Chains A and B, each alone.
Chain A
Amino acid sequence: MKNLVKSLQERYRYALIVFKELVKTNFQLRYQGSFLGILWSVLQPLMLFAVMYVVFVKFLKFSDGTPTFPISLLCGTCLWQFFSESTSMGMHSIVDRGDLLRKIHFPNYIIVASTTMGSMISLAINLGVVILFGTFAHAHYTWRVLLVIPSIVQLYAISLGVALLLGSLYVYFRDIGHIWDVVLQAMFYATPIIYPISLVTDKGYGWAANLLMLVPTTQTIMDIRHNLLSPEYVPTVWTMVGNPIICLIPYVLSVVVLWLGIHIFRKYSAKFAEVL
């Protein structure tokens, strides 16, 4: 028993050391050689936001008329950016780091975890910007801001689960890379980021809107926007569906995704070094 505890400690000590160092290195290398460096973490989503704002809100009038829609759009963009970046990079990470896996034995899930954690750091910086802008853009900060933290954890868990799953599959089937690009694109349009969910409801597709809200990523993004920016204007699965059992579906799905990712990864990770 004592040995077990000791070996567990030893095992996670190693994982933690590698994790810290890889996160640090990834972050250092991320903006290596660029003139503005880390500033790009902030600039990139802002510029993306500017494009979306002009195209969808100003030209196409995709607004629900609430004063918080622009800041909600910015927040949604940042959150989506995190999800799409962490899953894509996480998917490629195992293959990209194949040189390490073939040469040294270390807990290899750390590669995926550190990559997604890199995206998490960007998200933290971005959310700082969102909060700052929110004070000028009618955001209503209440005690509910605290609820954002578990939602962020949930979003990270989903991303990590998907990244682990895709990362293991990508080792064997490179096709996954192309498929995931398309899936991400589809999911982006199925998530009420550039349009308000009321756009779907108002057209008489209430059931479709409810269905969309049951997707774990959508549910998390809406929860974060609801609690962080405006509990009044941003709907969540709770305000739209109501039935608590159905409302729990996306939360359960998140756990399932994480479990599946870990399970598949553990099952195949021992062979990565040989396949790569």
Chain B
Amino acid sequence: MTDKNVNQNEKAKTVNVVAQKTDDRPVVLKVEHVAKYFRLPTEQATGLKMAFLNWTRGIKGYTEQHVLRDINFEVKQGDFFGIVGRNGSGKSTLLKIISGIYMPEKGKVSVKGKLVPFIELGVGFNPELTGRENVYLNGALLGFSHDEIDAMYDDIVEFAELGEFMDQKLKNYSSGMQVRLAFSVAIKAQGDILVLDEVLAVGDEAFQRKCDNFFSEIRKDPTKTVILVTHSMDSVKKYCNKAILIKDGEIIVSGNKNDVADRYTLENLKREGKESADDDQKNAEEDQYPTGLNATVPLLAVRPSKEPVCTMKEGFSFEVEYDYRGDKDFYLACSLNDIRRGGVPFGDSFDLYQPGHHTVRFHVPMDIFNNGEFRIIASLHEYENGRDDPEHVRMVAFTNEDFACDFSMRDPKGTDNFALLNKMRFGYEIVDKDLASRQQPITTE
């Protein structure tokens, strides 16, 4: 554990302590010092022969992989608790430990109340049974008796909008219908703690809206607790009141959902940066130039000057590092891509005067945009016949995905993610002022 992480953990702990003083809701889930490792078989060890051979040779036959190290957190009644992290960070393992599917190697998990886990939707669904039978089977596996399911059966069917199909065999359902049924059982199940693993994105738009309403409702219910594992920072910000971010089996941020969501975005961007550095090294060893580069331009990269997250006011600072070894006049072209919405909102070109290895710094004001994910890509071009002849140019290098610069804008004023341009800087002018007037913007602070 690095010092930085220790600090953050301690900070998180103090935040919890402060919260406890002001908050007397009961703790419904407590995870204390949970650690988990898996034994990965190095050779196929599922067989008497291999087990015997390994034993005679004194081979362990497996390597240990630590998936979780010392996880601590508390969830209180009524919380909508988010767990985020990149693929392979251990969040699903954590969820399985909370649900009791895996046993932790160290530490302990205490649950108060009825915990209903949905690691996957429709556990035990059998295509040969009817929809009705599957609801009862699925419900029983979640711990609901026949009578209890009787009580919620109508609700489930109504929510799934499958009334007329319930006596059909499940194999005759479309996949969307199956998912809808499973999801309805999941959210109508009357548990105290609901554990959901990335199951929000199912069904058609109307069904999505229904789920959205349901989550907004359950958020307000102080007796229900939800634990949600997701990749979608939108849902974290929308529903959760608390969240943790897990990285390499440790909690690196805990508490405020916005901090967690922003940090998650940052982690994603940083990881990409690290990977590209690795790639660079690898390619150098192989004595090859990465895609887009060559002997004339062995280096061209766009990098953020500071953090790859900016606000509206700051704008975004970046630098372009290049190494031009040709002998012609050349120029640099930069374009700004909008990753999420698609398209290139802006692009420009600059003549460069110094061949060799240099770094040029730039700044782009971001106050006309709403929040989003952006990428700056650059390319180097040569003038075939000198600067006076802009007709004959040739591209000599460009930044591939590894050398382009990804960044995000996160600003409380820019949360309207619908359009690229924000309303403060751009707007329709109303011609018929007696027929229309502009709505007041909704501020989400």
For the complex formed, measure the closest distance between the CB of A199 and the CB atoms of chain B, giving whole angstroms: 36
List A contacts of B100 (CB < 8 A): 105
Is A129 at the interface (CB under 8 A from chain B)? no
> Which of A105, A106, A174 makes the CB contact (< 8 A) with B46?
A174
- Is B47's CB under 8 angstroms from A106's CB? no
**Contact segment of A85-93, A136-144, A216-224, A267-275:** A267-275
List A contacts of B117 (CB < 8 A): 104-105
Given the known interface contacts A17-B145, A29-B129, A32-B128, the answer about A103 and B120 at a Cβ–Cβ threshold of 8 Å is yes
Given the known interface contacts A21-B136, A32-B128, A270-B103, the answer about A104 and B119 at a Cβ–Cβ threshold of 8 Å is yes
Tell me the B63-114 residues at the A interface (CB within 8 Å).
96, 99-103
List A contacts of B141 (CB < 8 A): 18, 21, 100, 104, 106
For the complex formed, measure the closest distance between the CB of A227 and the CB atoms of chain B, giving whole angstroms: 36
Is A175 at the interface (CB under 8 A from chain B)? yes
Known: A18-B143, A175-B49. 4 other contacts (CB 8 A): A25-B129, A25-B137, A100-B124, A105-B99
> Which of A14, A29, A274 makes the CB contact (< 8 A) with B128?
A29
> Which of B48, B102, B123, B136 makes the CB contact (< 8 A) with A173?
B48
Q: Which residues of B line the A interface, CB within 8 A?
A: 38, 46-49, 51, 96, 99-103, 117, 119-120, 123-124, 126, 128-129, 133, 136-137, 140-146
Query: Once the chains are docked, how many angstroms separate the CA of A174 from the CA of B48?
Result: 8
The winner among A28, A32, A99, A103 for most chain B CB atoms within 10 A is: A103
List A contacts of B38 (CB < 8 A): 274
Given the known interface contacts A100-B124, A173-B47, the answer about A28 and B133 at a Cβ–Cβ threshold of 8 Å is yes
> Which of A18, A20, A101, A172 makes the CB contact (< 8 A) with B101?
A101
9 intermolecular pairs with C-beta atoms under 8 Å apart:
A13-B145, A20-B146, A21-B141, A25-B133, A25-B137, A99-B124, A105-B100, A175-B49, A273-B96
- Is B123's CB under 8 angstroms from A175's CB? no
Query: Once the chains are docked, how many angstroms separate the CA of A71 from the CA of B419?
Result: 83
Which chain A residue has the least Cβ–Cβ distance from B93? A274
- Is A103's CB under 8 angstroms from B133's CB? no
Which chain A residue has the least Cβ–Cβ distance from B139? A21
Query: Once the chains are docked, how many angstroms separate the CA of A100 from the CA of B143?
Result: 14
Is A102 at the interface (CB under 8 A from chain B)? yes
- Is A28's CB under 8 angstroms from B140's CB? no
- Is A18's CB under 8 angstroms from B48's CB? no
List A contacts of B101 (CB < 8 A): 101-105, 273
Q: Which residues of A line the B interface, CB within 8 A?
A: 13-14, 17-18, 20-22, 25, 28-29, 32-33, 99-106, 172-175, 270-271, 273-274
List B contacts of A174 (CB < 8 A): 46-47
For the complex formed, measure the closest distance between the CB of A106 and the CB atoms of chain B, giving whole angstroms: 6
List A contacts of B102 (CB < 8 A): 273-274
Which chain B residue has the least Cβ–Cβ distance from A101? B101
Query: Once the chains are docked, how many angstroms separate the CA of A173 from the CA of B141?
Result: 27
10 nearest CB pairs, A to B: A21-B140, A105-B100, A103-B123, A175-B48, A270-B103, A103-B119, A103-B120, A14-B143, A105-B101, A273-B101
List B contacts of A29 (CB < 8 A): 126, 128-129
Which chain B residue has the least Cβ–Cβ distance from A19? B140
Given the known interface contacts A29-B128, A32-B128, the answer about A106 and B143 at a Cβ–Cβ threshold of 8 Å is yes
Which chain B residue has the least Cβ–Cβ distance from A29? B128
Which chain A residue has the least Cβ–Cβ distance from B114? A10
For the complex formed, measure the closest distance between the CB of B105 and the CB atoms of chain A, giving whole angstroms: 11
Given the known interface contacts A17-B143, A101-B101, A273-B101, the answer about A25 and B48 at a Cβ–Cβ threshold of 8 Å is no
Which chain B residue has the least Cβ–Cβ distance from A21? B140
Which chain A residue has the least Cβ–Cβ distance from B96? A273
> Which of A13, A99, A100, A173 makes the CB contact (< 8 A) with B51?
A173
List A contacts of B49 (CB < 8 A): 175
For the complex formed, measure the closest distance between the CB of A129 and the CB atoms of chain B, giving whole angstroms: 27
Which chain A residue has the least Cβ–Cβ distance from B115? A105
List B contacts of A28 (CB < 8 A): 129, 133
The winner among B51, B100, B101, B129 for most chain A CB atoms within 10 A is: B101
For the complex formed, measure the closest distance between the CB of A194 and the CB atoms of chain B, giving whole angstroms: 31
Query: Once the chains are docked, how many angstroms separate the CA of A273 from the CA of B129?
Result: 25
For the complex formed, measure the closest distance between the CB of A89 and the CB atoms of chain B, giving whole angstroms: 17
For the complex formed, measure the closest distance between the CB of B172 and the CB atoms of chain A, giving whole angstroms: 14
